[in-house]
Amino acid sequence: MIQDDNGAVLVTNDGATILDKMRVNHPAAKMLVGLSKAQDVEAGDGTTTVVVICGGLLNAVQGLLNKGIHPTKISESYGKAIVKAEEELERIGTPVALSDRDALIDAARTSLSSKVISQYAELFAPLAVDAVLKVIDPETATNVDLDDVKIVTRVGGTMDDTEMIDGLCFGKGFSKSGGVQTIKDPKIGLIQFCLSAPKTDMENSVVVSEYDQMDKILREERKYILKMCKKIKKSGCTLLLVQKSILRDAVNDLSLHFLQKLGIAVIRDIERDDVEYICKSLGCRPIAHIDGFLPEKLGCAGLAEESSISGKGRVVKITQVANPGRTCSILIRGSNKMVLEEADRSLHDALCVVRSLVKKKFMICGGGVAEAAVSCRLAKWSNSLTGMEAYCVRAFADALEVIPYTLAENAGLHPIQIVTELRKRHASGEHHYGINVKKGQIADMRKANVWQPLLVSISALKLATETVQMILKIDDMIGVR
């Protein structure tokens, strides 16, 4: 639980989020914060793992330096060890096809099982897989743009009410709906200009001394706004999306009143970041000026429906889009804001796991299998080396056991006993055995369906090693004014 200066509370176990929110002053510690962010960008999952591995490697470095081994030699040996580690991980990795939905769901479920909302993993894992498969072409895809999956969170209901919407979802209702709940076959326009009377660029004040002058100003203002609204109506638009204006109100009460009279529903305060996503989903184009409000720039859909959430909140769903782009929306429901924020982060991690499998179509067993296998292979390899290099590689191998050790400790097991047994299993060639946290024993992770993307493990090892090599190159720290 993290509380900031303003009293806002955050409950999470996402490594990157925790490190990002912490006040870190030491330069080396800042490098670890950057490390977790890099892992978040590259793989999206394993942000805690990468920092734990880096800590284990740095601990091993301390022992090597105390033995009098030169930092450059350690750095070179670690570089060779990571190449060997990658070879081993690819050797024991299992190929996966994007058509194998169950395998993808297993990987997403494993990612969610360590989260605060782990009890809803059975609901969120298929959602994450279906969302990614919807926005890519499984035959040719080599990456996924997660901006194509829009996550909307609303307080009210429970997590079980979470749903995927084949279309668009807005976490707000129609402005001044006047009882409009459903629009059949809406023609949708997205505007980036203000539906209000024009104002000068500079601050100014107009002094009106006569009542008839005031009436004239108001009359002209009404006439100007009505003309704009009639032009919108003429194009055939029945649902208007209005981009948020940072300078002044994009719409005012008068324009909303006119639009309502003309039978046009309005959703206001559309974020600038969402414009590209909306255009891609609906096949419409943003309109920057009233003169450009033409029928060909509108998007078409089968239904726009406003529904109420727990009395106060409202959402609008636009479905049955005529020319849908490869996008989808997920509406997450929950009891309070903190739970929703953590659900959002957890679902993002699950989406990233599926994205990692699209990038590199290999999986590896979870439960400390990857680290135990690499540790075992490097320990054997170190016996064939000579001199200081053998010491360094052996230290690297031993340091990786920090992951199964920590897993066993967090599960309330006896860490030394578990790690020793795991080491024995891997030494005898049983490379799919890891720690089954639920049963509290060493087990075959394939039977337990605990899988993770190979990319997550490779990325974590590489990034942690790079950071250690960078820290090893530092001779001294100098404070400057």
Q: Where are the domains of the chain?
A: 2-96+363-472, 167-323
* Sheet with 167-170, edge to edge strand ranges: 167-170, 313-319, 303-309, 182-184
Catalytic one among 110, 349, 406, 465?
349
Question: Strand, coil or helix: what is 320?
Answer: coil
> What secondary structure does DSSP assign to 343-370, as a single string?
HHHHHHHHHHHHHHHHHS-EEEETTTHH
Residue 180, pLDDT > 70, answer: no
pLDDT band at 62; cut points 50, 70, 90:
very high
Catalytic one among 17, 47, 49, 162?
47
Structure tokens at 222: 């009404």
pLDDT in tens, 420-461: 999 898 888 888 888 988 888 888 888 888 888 999 999 999
Question: Strand, coil or helix: what is 95?
Answer: strand
Q: What are the residues whose beta carbons fall under 8 Å from the beta carbon of 38, sequence distance 6 or more?
A: 463
| Residue 159 and residue 338 in contact, taking contact as beta carbons nearer than 8 Å | no
140 given a catalytic annotation: no
Angle between helices 415-427 and 402-410 (to 10 degrees): 130
Q: pTM value?
A: 0.84
pLDDT in tens, 69-121: 999 999 999 999 999 999 999 988 889 888 888 889 988 988 888 888 888 88
pLDDT in tens, 393-421: 999 999 999 999 998 998 888 989 999 99
Superfamily (CATH) of domain 167-323:
GroEL (3.50.7.10)
Short-list 188, 160, 167, CA closest to 297: 188
> What secondary structure does DSSP assign to 182-222, as a single string?
EEES-EEEEE-S-BS----SS--------HHHHHHHHHHHH
> Residue range 5-21: average pLDDT?
84
Query: Which pLDDT score, from 0 to 100, does residue 166 have?
Result: 87
Residue 214, pLDDT > 90, answer: no
> Residue range 182-201: average pLDDT?
83
Domain at 2-96+363-472: CATH architecture = Orthogonal Bundle (1.10)
Mean of pLDDT over the chain: 87
Catalytic one among 12, 48, 49, 162?
48
349 given a catalytic annotation: yes
Query: Which pLDDT score, from 0 to 100, does residue 177 have?
Result: 55
| Residue 176 and residue 266 in contact, taking contact as beta carbons nearer than 8 Å | yes
Query: Which pLDDT score, from 0 to 100, does residue 1 have?
Result: 87
48 given a catalytic annotation: yes
Residue 42, pLDDT > 80, answer: yes
Residue 12, pLDDT > 80, answer: yes
pLDDT in tens, 291-346: 888 888 888 888 888 887 766 678 888 888 877 778 889 999 888 888 888 899 88
pLDDT in tens, 127-179: 999 999 888 888 888 888 888 899 999 888 888 888 888 888 888 888 765 55
Q: d(Cα 232, Cα 176) in Å, to the nearest integer?
A: 18
Query: Which pLDDT score, from 0 to 100, does residue 176 have?
Result: 67
> Residue range 180-209: average pLDDT?
80
CA distance to 162, 179, 238, 385, per residue, from 260 (Å): 31, 10, 10, 80
Catalytic one among 14, 106, 148, 274?
14
